[in-house]
Structures are given as structure tokens and as C-alpha cells.
Amino acid sequence: MDKRAFLKLTGLAGAAAIFSSPLGSLATPATVISGKPSFTADPKAPFVLPPLPYAYDALEPNIDKLTMEIHHDKHHAAYVKNLNDAVVNTPFANYTLEEIQNKVTDKDKAIRNNGGGHYNHSLFWTLLSPTKKTPSAKLKAAITKDFGTWEAFQTKFNDAAKSVFGSGWAWLIVTPDKKLAITTTPNQDNPLMHNIVKDKGHPILALDVWEHAYYLKHQNKRPEYIDAFWNVVNWDEVEKRYNAA
């Protein structure tokens, strides 16, 4: 399948920062400046597609350029559009993106799926870095305290990501009792969905294991993609979120 055909196909599929203000605005189609998308806001819509904080090809060879283009501009953009459509004439239109995660229930199917997709991806982009990062001594100490060793932490996270059946996410979270834990969620659920998930907490590291996140480069080799992920983790952002939690 050539690139044009693939883009057409994936455009039909479900579909950098988390916004702190109650209202954002959905982006109109992107223009590209120095390899990064730039968006014009639509003031009529409450949520916005954040531009990537780096160029599409900045994470190569670990995550390829075409995957980033499709993942951000097609999949994530669709979640934002569908979320804006779903919240019309509902109380969710007045909530922040994080509040939506806290308040959504299994009865709010469209808001759950698209609100989760928007939150998860907005977080995910910030947790990736085109420049090599290393965890600080403080963060490593916190992780080894709760997992025994750094290697044990990575093994447990890898195993969790590999174990997701079908589509979903692997997470490192700070639990309500301030411990670090690893969990997974299906589809676009996340640990902030207190009315839905069993393992609740504040996410500080996330890995998207939907096939669209890795299939162009890694095909069906999810473990290969998981290994590549460790090369582009933005440990500065992880620690920032750990400190906040």
C-alpha cells in the first residue's frame, strides 16, 4: 500500500501539553512550519488539538515520521473533533479535560472514548523527547524503592505493555497512597477515570500500545516498539509529573 492510500485509509480510523484552562478550542487543518504542525483555533469548540512539541521525524529511528504524522494529525485530531461533538448540550462542555476523566462513567460512551483519547495522547506527546534524557537520581531512587531495582521496574512495565490484549495503554502511576504502581487500561481508558477503572492514580508515564502507534515501522513486533520507547522517554517530564503528584 502506498503512502497516499494508507493516509486515506487511516483517515477513516478512530481517530504538548494537557490544558489547565477549562476551555480550549479545536484546531482547524494543520500547516507545517519546519516539520511541525501549527494550528488555527476554532473558537466555537471547547477542546484543542495541541501541536507536537517537536518535528514529525524528531523521534526517528525509534518512532518514524509517517507514524507520527498519522497518529497526531488523524487519530488524535479525530478524538478531539468527536469529543467536541459529544459534549454539546451536556455538563461536560463546562469541564476541563482532566475533570472529564474524573467524572465520566461507563454510560458516557462517546465522551469516555474520545475524552480519554484526547487526554491520553496530549499526555503521551509530552512524555517523548527527541533528545536523550536520563532519569535523575531522585526519580530513580523513588522507582527502585517501590520496584526493588530499575531493571525490575522496566521489566514489569514491559510485561504490562506486552500483556494488553488488543488496544490500550500501559501506565506508571502515583497511587492515592503515594506509591508508584504499574497498570494497564483497555482502549482509551486511563487511571484518572475513577468511576471506571480498578487501579486509580495520577499517570506520570504512559505508553500507547494501539497498533496504529507502531505498526508502520515495527509491524506486529510490539516488544520491539516497547524497547524503542525507552530511547525517547522524556524523564524530565516524568519527574515533573511525579513531583506534582
Output the known binding site.
71, 121, 208, 212
Residue positions forming the annotated binding site for Mn(2+): 71, 121, 208, 212
Grid cell 476541563 — which residue? 96
List of residues 6+ apart from 133 with CB closer than 8 A: 233, 234, 235, 236
Written as one string, the DSSP assignment of 78-124 is: HHHHHHHHHTTTSGGGGS-HHHHHHH--TT-HHHHHHHHHHHHHHHH
Give the whole-angstrom CA distance, residue 153 versus residue 155: 5
Give the whole-angstrom CA distance, residue 63 versus residue 195: 33
Give the whole-angstrom CA distance, residue 47 versus residue 87: 10
Bridge partners of residue 128, in order along the sequence: 233
Cell triple for residue 15?
481517530
Number of Cβ atoms within 10 Å of the Cβ of 196: 18
Give the whole-angstrom CA distance, residue 95 versus residue 175: 23
